[in-house]
Structure 1
Amino acid sequence: MVKEHKSISSAQNPLIKRILLLKEKSRERKKQGVFVAEGLREIELAQKGGYSIETLLFCPEIFEGNPELFTTKDQSPEYISLSRNVYEKVAHRGTTEGVLALIGGKDHALGKLRFKNREPLILVAEAPEKPGNIGALLRTADAAALDAVIIANPKTDLYNPNIIRSSVGCVFTTQIGTGTTEEIIAYLKQQQINIYAAALTASESYAECDFKGSSAIVVGTEATGLSENWLQNSDQNIIIPMQGEIDSMNVSVSAAILIFEAKRQRGF
Structure 2
Amino acid sequence: MKTISSVQNPLVKQIIQLKEKSRARKSSGLFIIEGRRELSLAIKGGYIIRSVLFDDTICTAETIREQCTGLQTPPELIALSGDVYRKLAYRETTEGTLAIAEGREHHLDALPMPRKNPLILVAEAPEKPGNIGALLRTADAADADAVIIANPKTDLYNPNIIRSSVGCLFTRNIATGTTAEVIAFLRKHDVGIYGAALTASVPYHTCDYTGATALIVGTEATGLSAAWLDNSDQNIIIPMQGEIDSMNVSVSAAILIFEAKRQRQFL
TM-score range, shorter chain: over 0.9
Q: Please give the residue correspondences for 1:32-43 in structure 2 after superposition, counting only pairs within 5 Å.
A: 32-43=28-39
Q: Please give the residue correspondences for 1:203-214 in structure 2 after superposition, counting only pairs within 5 Å.
A: 203-214=201-212
Counterpart of 2:100 in structure 1 is: 102
Structure 1 residue 9 displacement after superposition: 1.0
Can you give the 5+ residue segments of structure 1 that lack an aligned partner in the other structure?
A: none
Q: For residue 66 of structure 1, give the secondary structure of its aligned residue in structure 2.
A: helix
| Contact 2:43–2:71 (Cα < 8 Å) also in 1 | no
Counterpart CA distance in 1 for 2:226 and 2:179 is 10
Q: For residue 31 of structure 2, give the secondary structure of its aligned residue in structure 1.
A: strand
| Contact 2:203–2:239 (Cα < 8 Å) also in 1 | yes
Instruction: Output the aligned Cα RMSD.
Output: 1.1
Counterpart CA distance in 1 for 2:37 and 2:24 is 24
The aligned amino acid for 1:228 is A
Structure 1 residue 260 displacement after superposition: 0.2
Structure 1 residue 170 displacement after superposition: 1.4
| Contact 2:43–2:70 (Cα < 8 Å) also in 1 | no
| Contact 2:119–2:214 (Cα < 8 Å) also in 1 | yes
**Aligned partner of 2:172 among 164, 174, 193:** 174
**Pair 1:83-2:81 in alignment:** yes
So what's the TM-score if we normalise by structure 2?
Answer: 0.96
Counterpart CA distance in 1 for 2:114 and 2:45 is 15
| Contact 1:45–1:169 (Cα < 8 Å) also in 2 | yes
Structure 1 residue 116 displacement after superposition: 2.4
**Aligned partner of 1:198 among 196, 199, 211:** 196
Counterpart CA distance in 2 for 1:76 and 1:54 is 8
**Aligned partner of 1:27 among 23, 26, 45:** 23
**Aligned partner of 2:146 among 145, 148, 154:** 148
Q: Please give the residue correspondences for 1:8-27 in structure 2 after superposition, counting only pairs within 5 Å.
A: 8-27=4-23
Counterpart of 1:56 in structure 2 is: 52
Structure 1 residue 73 displacement after superposition: 5.5
Counterpart CA distance in 1 for 2:23 and 2:71 is 32
| Contact 1:7–1:81 (Cα < 8 Å) also in 2 | yes
Can you give the 5+ residue segments of structure 2 that lack an aligned partner in the other structure?
A: none
Q: 1:206-254: CA deviations, max 9, x gaps?
A: 1110000000000000100000000000110001111111111110000
Q: For residue 67 of structure 1, give the secondary structure of its aligned residue in structure 2.
A: helix
Q: Please give the residue correspondences for 1:217-232 in structure 2 after superposition, counting only pairs within 5 Å.
A: 217-232=215-230
| Contact 1:11–1:86 (Cα < 8 Å) also in 2 | yes
**Aligned partner of 1:66 among 63, 66, 74:** 63
| Contact 2:201–2:234 (Cα < 8 Å) also in 1 | yes
The aligned amino acid for 1:259 is I
- The worse-fitting range, judged by mean Cα deviation, of 112-121 and 24-33 is 112-121
| Contact 1:19–1:36 (Cα < 8 Å) also in 2 | yes
Counterpart of 1:122 in structure 2 is: 120
The aligned amino acid for 2:64 is P
Structure 1 residue 148 displacement after superposition: 0.5
Counterpart CA distance in 2 for 1:118 and 1:79 is 44
Q: How many correspondences in the alignment? A: 264
| Contact 1:71–1:77 (Cα < 8 Å) also in 2 | no
Counterpart CA distance in 2 for 1:226 and 1:205 is 17
The aligned amino acid for 1:205 is P
Counterpart of 1:244 in structure 2 is: 242
Q: For residue 242 of structure 1, give the secondary structure of its aligned residue in structure 2.
A: coil
Q: Percent identity?
A: 66
**Aligned partner of 1:131 among 129, 132, 135:** 129
The aligned amino acid for 1:68 is R
Counterpart CA distance in 1 for 2:173 and 2:44 is 12
Counterpart of 1:92 in structure 2 is: 90
Q: 1:4-35: CA deviations, max 9, x gaps?
A: x2111111111111101100100110111110
